[in-house]
Amino acid sequence: MMLLERVNIVEGFPPVDLSTAANNGDWISLKNYRSVVVLFHSGVGTNGQDPTLTIEQAKDVSGTGVKALNFTTIYRKQAATDLSGTAKWTKTTQAAANTYTNTDAAEQSALWAVEFSAADLDVANGFDCIRATVADVGANAQPGSLHYILADPRYASAPEDMASAIAD
Strand partners, 8: 150
C-beta separation of 129 from 61 below 8 A = yes
The pLDDT score that the predictor gives to residue 158 is 83
Cβ-contact 135, 19 below 8 angstroms: no
Q: What number of other Cβ atoms are within 10 A of residue 26's Cβ?
A: 16
Q: Evaluate whether 149 touches 12 at the Cβ level (below 8 Å).
A: no
DSSP 120: G
Let me know if domain 3-155 sits in CATH 2.60.120. Answer: yes
Domain ranges within the chain, ordered by starting residue: 3-155
49-71 average pLDDT score:
98
**pLDDT above 90 (res 43):** yes
87: Cβ contacts below 8 Å, ≥ 6 apart: none
Closest to 45 (Cα-Cα) out of 85, 81, 15: 81
pLDDT at 1 over 80: no
159 secondary structure, DSSP code = G
Asked whether the beta carbons of 166 and 60 are under 8 A apart, the reply is no
This prediction has a pTM of 0.95
